[in-house]
A and B are shown apart, each in its own frame.
Chain A
Amino acid sequence: MNWVEYFFFQIYPYLCLVVFAIGCWARFDRSQFSWRAESSEFLEKRTLTWASNLFHIGVLGLLMGHAAGLLAPSQITEFLGLSAHAHQLLAVGAGSVFAACAAAGGGGLLYRRLFNTRVRATGRPTDLFILLFVYMQLWLGIFGLPHSLMHSDGTIMETLGAWCRGVITFQPDLPALLVNIPLIYKLHLITGMTLFLLTPFTRLVHVISAPIWYIFRPGWQIVRRNRHVANEET
């Protein structure tokens, strides 16, 4: 275990989580008006409609899969009757579908952000940076898929899950768990943690504030619009 691994797998997770927690709190308290997704739909709509939906479906699926796969103790999967092998196949299968959605949608978003002149001119450098970063993380995950298929016994997933649970239960010697994990997973881990680190400083904060309650608000007002007319205008 060298000091690099010690830093990234024993210290960095806490660093990221602390910055994430305090950063989000501070931003939420100090700068309410910056707490938003900063949609650029106003500037470009056509690409955004399919790319954004696809990307968000994919990413949300992946997020939930990761949460379930990594944080649930093996007792739960065993209780559900899932063998490690089946668990792994489920993860790879569902993950691939969601990853494909996210990759396609993210590609669309990236293309739009780079080549649509209005979006490009209006956006800030951080908007491009964070999209690139999420997209890179996505592809790191996808690059791990061959490994997962090669080791379909589920041991890698087990190990990574153990590490994650170790982080939230404050276990010592966490890097030791990852000794036999391929590099691609380690990189995916590090960038994944970095996403937490970056969240308070970017538009990613909107992940925390999905306006779910909006759906359940009292007093709906129904506004219809004529799609035909709207399309003619564009």
Chain B
Amino acid sequence: MSQLIDRLLFFKKYQGKFADGHGVNTDESRAWEDAYRSRWESEKIVRSTHGVNCTGSCSWKIYVKSGLVTWETQQTDYPRTRPDMPNHEPRGCPRGASYSWYLYSSNRIRYPLVRKQLVALWREKRRTLDAVSAWKAIQDDPETRRGYQKQRGLGGFVRVSWDEANELIAAANIHTIRKWGPDRVVGFSPIPAMSMLSYAAGTRYLSLLGGTCLSFYDWYCDLPPASPQTFGDQTDVPESLDWYNSGYLLVWGSNVSMTRTPDAHFYTEARYRGAKSVVIAPDYVEVAKFADLWLHPRQGTDSALALGMAHVILREFYLERQVPYFQEYAARYTDLPFLVMLEPAQDGASKPGRLLRASDLAEARYQTTEADWKPLVWDAGQNCPAMPRGSAGFRWEKGGRWNLEPFDAVTGEPLTPALSLAGNTEQATVLFPYFGNEGRFGLNEAAPVKASTVPVRSVTLRTGETVRCATVFDLMVAHYGLSANPEEWPDYNANVPGTPAWQEHITGVPRDRCIAVARGFARNAEATQGRSMVILGAGLNHWYNMDMTYRAILNMLILCGCIGQNGGGWAHYVGQEKLRPSAGWGPVAFAGDWGGPPRRMNGTSFFYAHTDQWRYEQMTPQAQLSPLASSVAWPRTVLDCNIQAERMGWLPSAPQLTTNPLDVGKAARASGQDPVAYVKEALFSGKVKLACEDPDAPENWPRNMFVWRSNLLGASGKGHEYFMKHLLGAPNNVMNEESEQRPAFAKWHEQAPEGKLDLLITIDFRMSTTAMFSDVVLPTATWYEKSDLNTSDMHTFIHPLQAAVNPAWEARTDWSIFRGLAEAFQRLAPGTLGEETDVVFSPLQKDTPAELAQPYGGTDWQTDKSFAPEPGKTMPQITLVSRRYDEVYDRYITLGPVLENKGNADHGLNWDTVAEITELKQTHPSVSGKYPERSSLFQDTDAVETVLMLAPETNGDVSARSWKALSEKTGRDLSHRLGGREGDRITFADIITQPRQVINSPVWSGVSSTQEAYTANWLNVHEYVPWRTLTGRLQFYQDHPWLRDFGETFATYKPPVETYSTPDALGAEHCNGNPVISLNFLTPHQKWGIHSTYAENLIMLTLGRGGPVVWISEEDAARLHVADNDWVEAFNRNGTLVARAVVSQRIPAGAAFMYHAAERTANVPGSEITGKRAGIHNSVTRVVMKPTHMVGGYAHLSWSFNYYGPVGSNRDEFIFLRKMNKVNWFDGTDKGQETSV
């Protein structure tokens, strides 16, 4: 009982011996043992996961002891796979295992916080004014407004109550909507798949307001534009289990063991099984240790290597010898047999034009609906063009001919398209552009235009004109440096574009290695019917010409028939994009249950315009055009391209109009005429203008911005310092002079605006960089404190986030935070906002009939006034939406009626869902006074169950209906693919019990079961479901005019581009006596964190060097006189950062690696150059946009949220690097200096 009293018997402790005197019996207190027992005790273990965009989606046990989360360990109860397949466990990594540190760390945000200056203003105004007027009064005085903006990032947060914070934000939103328009209220939150209801909370609130939701997958540059270009799909990839099925694995620009830690064991197991593996990366990357062969092409030149390999594959497996499997695959599943019309080029030669369409021909049998979208092949039997099934033109018509069955769409007879027209006497000289002469590095000189002889057929068009046509295959053979005539084939050792020797000059990879890998890859595919796989990732996708690299690699896979086969195909893992129950989630997230459309904006264009990065633009579209480009009428600047894309309905806009859309809506309703026609005419006549044409005018600024589940400023904000300067008006390190370029379509203001945002609100659990620069910071629940859902492309399970404990301190779940805002909004709106008419512009959206708007590219109605624009055809769709600002809260907490009337839809499929809504009304009755008869979305758990009820992936009945919808569309019965799971339900109670595999759904292109792994494009290959592309097949060839002008009809080699960030004068200007050299700046994913999360977690900081580091090679370190762990400063026109140098033989000379993202809050000292707190990795980057990604209204090249659109690449960037002489921490010892963070 008492320790002391127990010890009084100390001398009577020994009771005797046993075991021949080796053991002793004692009589003493054993109470101390309880300490060790209770050390590992927990009162409950709760299943949750980490919502952090790592793609892991691992199931974890969260331990709770005395009401506190103590630690987490990996769950080990995944359902097992079939015998002879490895199981999923273990899943998890050290970052996840350190997450519980955050819950009670000093970095946790505990209370709602408001910037001191702002809260003082607010409280002063509130003494005499109501909330909305108080906010108006603050905004109407430019000096007070700038006053608190300038304090952003300088600390000084004051704790406020939830009521006060909600009132301030709601008042700001109301005032902004009334004065400027609802599209000036903007929200950024990424990757719904990582915690989908937390995402949905904010977007639901914004969508009920008419606010703008920004995309992220493209902004992060995780979206591979090559995927929509080739597959017509955002991204669909095999789960990691499928690696095990592969016989030949190329791991290319992806560091699987480091960034896919929980999945890496499948790679090891595949190696044990005997798979051959080649790792391709410029540095001796961690995953290289798994490889049979490590190839290290110079960074950013990978497309040349892939082209060299495909050259070998084409020659040895298509021309010298025909592999039956490849031939059949190419004819059935690819656009290789399709006919391309040749266009006249210089000197009587031709160049490839667009695909021949049914509408081009005069014969009556081609005159069908959407004939513009029905490209033709050459029927070898009939010796004439023929129309195969399955192309885009069949998708939106009735008749069930949208499938890949090998029949003529007109006659229904079997159709054998010719891959090649060789053997025919007709030939043409065709010109192909070559781009290897210009760029920052990786050049290999050759003629800019190359002529080749290509077999052709003449076809007479309905215009009477005769045009020569070649198959995509014949053109591609020529493009790859080969020819139908074996005598023209270059030697592998000749430095001729396309050959292994040519790529060696660029990449440095020896030609024999290139040839050997190409042969091994193709031979394996031949022997296994396509079980060759490429795992590829950010190392390739973050370059400006990433689509060239990806397409060059995809071409290898397609030529070898690997797409759609288990163990084969492209495995792109960048970003946790796979939101499996998307159809159930969509209406909840974007308030589609109350009508729409929502305002969704592509992040890259938005930030490019509104952080004024365009004012510093040095690149031009003209400089990038192919020497064969026909059109001289290219927009002058990159911003002009974007503006034109917005006008033509290719890309979305935000804000949309220079005037408040509520005022336009009111005028349209009052006009008495058709409101849509009224808006269209107002726009055409210039009475109403598009906001994108003047992004710097105050009426076009974004005004209120929500950031949640994101560290926009600390991790993903390319052009960080421009964000600081122009969007926030905060202290910054911009060292750049503005560009001399002047856009043709956008108004130029001599003085660039600083501080566009009235209010920046961040919702987070930790004090991230973004939170530090915000005006209001709201404390949210961690991943162990809320109910939510999490899915990944790495496996087919659906995981819960679950509340192990209640949100600590005053934190609330995201769902209840936005519900609270909605409540405050609804309370404060009357008097300022009531029932309003909003005019919403939406682009020609992918997977809707509008994707067939512009069959031959578009014409800009603003520059070409010869025709009147037509909404939804030549300009954005215009919708008038009735907003009920007096019902925001009631609608937020209630599932609306639209789904009952219109059904649910996803990926162009539509199905009825009345039964599910009816059931939800019974199981989750409404708590809203206004809508008592509907179902409830009050709690996060209500929202979770609603998603699970509505999604085909978690409700077998819904899935059955969606399969029926696809069966009707394709004319093929696909109901058996449901796998007998009709009636199956996955509820929250199920997934918190054990990981549950989702139900097969036609929303995705593959199926899975306990017997076989999920792989993408499986349905296309095995069930003849067309790809959602122009030809309905895998697209080698891109025939949109903009892509043709860019010379990107086929994948080609384009060297890294010049970003003009490191002019010599700048390096000389900032010399501190140490040598300065310029290096290519690469920002791969790190080992001890996921993006910026965990980057300031003490446990992870102890594993690394505890702060920002830049890795450089030994050669460059010697040139810089830098020793390992020295402080260095990296700078260029965009800004500056400081870090410690890691000198490693792993890094290739000429490159600097800064693993993203170190938090600006952890161990970042001051810059020697600017005398301010130094920046982060993105301080030296600036986003550069590629115009070809802006194309829209063109079947697979159509915009959809996170689907297609310009991506925020950054790896072509260069920095100056130098050693620092002194490190200033600004820690209070030199008070006279700068006080910025």
**A-to-B contact residues, CB < 8 Å:** 25, 28-29, 32-33, 218-219
Known: A218-B24, A219-B22. A25 touches B4 (CB 8 A): yes
Q: How far is the CA of A25 from the CA of B22 in the complex (A)?
A: 34
Give every chain B residue within 8 A of A29 (Cβ-Cβ). 2-4
Are A33 and B35 in contact, CB atoms less than 8 angstroms apart? Answer: yes
Are B32 and A32 in contact, CB atoms less than 8 angstroms apart? Answer: yes
Contact flags B1-40 to A (C-beta < 8 A → 1, else 0): 0111000000000000000001010000000100100000
**B3, B4, B22: most-surrounded residue (chain A CB, <10 A):** B3
Instruction: Give the Cβ gap from A84 to chain B, nearest Cβ, in Å.
Output: 39
Q: How far is the CA of A69 from the CA of B22 in the complex (A)?
A: 44
Residue pairs across A and B with Cβ atoms less than 8 A apart, 12 shown, are A25-B4, A28-B3, A28-B4, A29-B2, A29-B3, A29-B4, A32-B3, A32-B32, A32-B35, A33-B35, A218-B24, A219-B22
Give every chain A residue within 8 A of B3 (Cβ-Cβ). 28-29, 32
Give every chain B residue within 8 A of A25 (Cβ-Cβ). 4
Q: How far is the CA of A29 from the CA of B32 in the complex (A)?
A: 11
Give every chain A residue within 8 A of B4 (Cβ-Cβ). 25, 28-29
Interface residues in B933-969 by Cβ distance below 8 A to A read none
Give every chain A residue within 8 A of B22 (Cβ-Cβ). 219
Q: How far is the CA of A46 from the CA of B836 in the complex (A)?
A: 78
Across the interface, name the chain B residue whose C-beta is closest to A219: B22
Instruction: Give the Cβ gap from B1095 to chain A, nearest Cβ, in Å.
Output: 23
Contact flags B608-621 to A (C-beta < 8 A → 1, else 0): 00000000000000
Q: How far is the CA of A173 from the CA of B32 in the complex (A)?
A: 46
Across the interface, name the chain B residue whose C-beta is closest to A30: B3
Across the interface, name the chain A residue whose C-beta is closest to B5: A29
Other 9 A-B pairs with CB < 8 A, given A28-B3, A219-B22: A28-B4, A29-B2, A29-B3, A29-B4, A32-B3, A32-B32, A32-B35, A33-B35, A218-B24
Instruction: Give the Cβ gap from B530 to chain A, nearest Cβ, in Å.
Output: 54
Q: How far is the CA of A33 from the CA of B35 in the complex (A)?
A: 9
Give every chain A residue within 8 A of B24 (Cβ-Cβ). 218
Give every chain B residue within 8 A of A28 (Cβ-Cβ). 3-4
Q: How far is the CA of A179 from the CA of B846 in the complex (A)?
A: 102
Q: How far is the CA of A33 from the CA of B32 in the complex (A)?
A: 9
Q: How far is the CA of A219 from the CA of B4 in the complex (A)?
A: 26
Across the interface, name the chain A residue whose C-beta is closest to B7: A28
Across the interface, name the chain A residue whose C-beta is closest to B14: A218
Report, nearest first, the 5 A-B pairs whose CB atoms are least far apart: A29-B3, A29-B2, A25-B4, A28-B4, A28-B3
Across the interface, name the chain A residue whose C-beta is closest to B24: A218
Instruction: Give the Cβ gap from A219 to chain B, nearest Cβ, in Å.
Output: 7
Instruction: Give the Cβ gap from A167 to chain B, nearest Cβ, in Å.
Output: 24
Q: How far is the CA of A144 from the CA of B4 in the complex (A)?
A: 38
Instruction: Give the Cβ gap from B29 to chain A, nearest Cβ, in Å.
Output: 10
Q: How far is the CA of A32 from the CA of B33 in the complex (A)?
A: 12
Across the interface, name the chain B residue whose C-beta is closest to A217: B24
Instruction: Give the Cβ gap from A218 to chain B, nearest Cβ, in Å.
Output: 6
Give every chain B residue within 8 A of A32 (Cβ-Cβ). 3, 32, 35
Across the interface, name the chain A residue whose C-beta is closest to B22: A219
Q: How far is the CA of A218 from the CA of B22 in the complex (A)?
A: 8
Give every chain A residue within 8 A of B35 (Cβ-Cβ). 32-33
Instruction: Give the Cβ gap from A234 to chain B, nearest Cβ, in Å.
Output: 20
Q: How far is the CA of A102 from the CA of B32 in the complex (A)?
A: 35
Give every chain B residue within 8 A of A33 (Cβ-Cβ). 35
Instruction: Give the Cβ gap from B28 to chain A, nearest Cβ, in Å.
Output: 12
Interface residues in B128-143 by Cβ distance below 8 A to A read none
Q: How far is the CA of A156 from the CA of B3 in the complex (A)?
A: 41
Across the interface, name the chain A residue whose C-beta is closest to B10: A213
Give every chain B residue within 8 A of A219 (Cβ-Cβ). 22
Q: How far is the CA of A32 from the CA of B35 in the complex (A)?
A: 10
Q: How far is the CA of A28 from the CA of B7 in the complex (A)?
A: 11
Give every chain B residue within 8 A of A218 (Cβ-Cβ). 24
Instruction: Give the Cβ gap from B1208 to chain A, nearest Cβ, in Å.
Output: 42
Give every chain A residue within 8 A of B32 (Cβ-Cβ). 32
Q: How far is the CA of A25 from the CA of B7 in the complex (A)?
A: 11
Across the interface, name the chain A residue whose C-beta is closest to B32: A32
Q: How far is the CA of A219 from the CA of B3 in the complex (A)?
A: 25
Across the interface, name the chain A residue whose C-beta is closest to B17: A218
Q: How far is the CA of A5 from the CA of B1182 in the complex (A)?
A: 78
Instruction: Give the Cβ gap from A227 to chain B, nearest Cβ, in Å.
Output: 29
Give every chain A residue within 8 A of B2 (Cβ-Cβ). 29
Q: How far is the CA of A218 from the CA of B13 in the complex (A)?
A: 13
Instruction: Give the Cβ gap from A34 to chain B, nearest Cβ, in Å.
Output: 12
Q: How far is the CA of A112 from the CA of B4 in the complex (A)?
A: 35
Instruction: Give the Cβ gap from A141 to chain B, nearest Cβ, in Å.
Output: 31
Contact flags B34-54 to A (C-beta < 8 A → 1, else 0): 010000000000000000000
Across the interface, name the chain A residue whose C-beta is closest to B6: A29
Instruction: Give the Cβ gap from A43 to chain B, nearest Cβ, in Å.
Output: 15
Q: How far is the CA of A54 from the CA of B2 in the complex (A)?
A: 36
Q: How far is the CA of A32 from the CA of B36 in the complex (A)?
A: 13
Instruction: Give the Cβ gap from A29 to chain B, nearest Cβ, in Å.
Output: 5
Q: How far is the CA of A29 from the CA of B24 in the complex (A)?
A: 26
Q: How far is the CA of A25 from the CA of B4 in the complex (A)?
A: 7
Q: How far is the CA of A63 from the CA of B3 in the complex (A)?
A: 27
Instruction: Give the Cβ gap from A28 to chain B, nearest Cβ, in Å.
Output: 5
Instruction: Give the Cβ gap from B20 to chain A, nearest Cβ, in Å.
Output: 12
Q: How far is the CA of A28 from the CA of B31 in the complex (A)?
A: 13
Q: How far is the CA of A29 from the CA of B4 in the complex (A)?
A: 6
Instruction: Give the Cβ gap from A128 to chain B, nearest Cβ, in Å.
Output: 23
Q: How far is the CA of A218 from the CA of B17 in the complex (A)?
A: 11
Instruction: Give the Cβ gap from A182 to chain B, nearest Cβ, in Å.
Output: 40
Interface residues in B549-565 by Cβ distance below 8 A to A read none
Q: How far is the CA of A29 from the CA of B8 in the complex (A)?
A: 13
Q: How far is the CA of A218 from the CA of B26 in the complex (A)?
A: 12
Q: How far is the CA of A25 from the CA of B6 in the complex (A)?
A: 12
Across the interface, name the chain A residue whose C-beta is closest to B1: A29
Instruction: Give the Cβ gap from B177 to chain A, nearest Cβ, in Å.
Output: 52
Instruction: Give the Cβ gap from A205 to chain B, nearest Cβ, in Å.
Output: 12
Q: How far is the CA of A30 from the CA of B32 in the complex (A)?
A: 12
Across the interface, name the chain B residue whose C-beta is closest to A24: B4
Instruction: Give the Cβ gap from A222 to chain B, nearest Cβ, in Å.
Output: 16
Instruction: Give the Cβ gap from A195 to chain B, nearest Cβ, in Å.
Output: 21
Across the interface, name the chain A residue whose C-beta is closest to B2: A29
Instruction: Give the Cβ gap from B8 to chain A, nearest Cβ, in Å.
Output: 12
Instruction: Give the Cβ gap from B280 to chain A, nearest Cβ, in Å.
Output: 39
Interface residues in B502-526 by Cβ distance below 8 A to A read none
Q: How far is the CA of A118 from the CA of B3 in the complex (A)?
A: 34
Q: How far is the CA of A218 from the CA of B14 in the complex (A)?
A: 11
Instruction: Give the Cβ gap from B38 to chain A, nearest Cβ, in Å.
Output: 12
Q: How far is the CA of A29 from the CA of B22 in the complex (A)?
A: 32
Across the interface, name the chain B residue whose C-beta is closest to A31: B3
Across the interface, name the chain B residue whose C-beta is closest to A35: B3
Q: How far is the CA of A132 from the CA of B826 in the complex (A)?
A: 65
Across the interface, name the chain A residue whose C-beta is closest to B21: A218
Contact flags B1031-1062 to A (C-beta < 8 A → 1, else 0): 00000000000000000000000000000000
Instruction: Give the Cβ gap from A150 to chain B, nearest Cβ, in Å.
Output: 45
Instruction: Give the Cβ gap from A217 to chain B, nearest Cβ, in Å.
Output: 10
Q: How far is the CA of A25 from the CA of B5 in the complex (A)?
A: 10
Instruction: Give the Cβ gap from B1120 to chain A, nearest Cβ, in Å.
Output: 29
Q: How far is the CA of A48 from the CA of B35 in the complex (A)?
A: 31
Instruction: Give the Cβ gap from B1061 to chain A, nearest Cβ, in Å.
Output: 40
Instruction: Give the Cβ gap from A73 to chain B, nearest Cβ, in Å.
Output: 29
Instruction: Give the Cβ gap from A18 to chain B, nearest Cβ, in Å.
Output: 16
Q: How far is the CA of A33 from the CA of B39 in the complex (A)?
A: 13
Q: How far is the CA of A33 from the CA of B38 in the complex (A)?
A: 14
Q: How far is the CA of A15 from the CA of B791 in the complex (A)?
A: 67
Q: How far is the CA of A32 from the CA of B3 in the complex (A)?
A: 8
Q: How far is the CA of A8 from the CA of B24 in the complex (A)?
A: 50
Q: How far is the CA of A142 from the CA of B335 in the complex (A)?
A: 99
Q: How far is the CA of A109 from the CA of B704 in the complex (A)?
A: 59
Q: How far is the CA of A33 from the CA of B2 in the complex (A)?
A: 15
Instruction: Give the Cβ gap from A3 to chain B, nearest Cβ, in Å.
Output: 36
Q: How far is the CA of A28 from the CA of B3 in the complex (A)?
A: 7
Instruction: Give the Cβ gap from A122 to chain B, nearest Cβ, in Å.
Output: 14
Q: How far is the CA of A52 from the CA of B398 in the complex (A)?
A: 91
Contact flags B761-793 to A (C-beta < 8 A → 1, else 0): 000000000000000000000000000000000
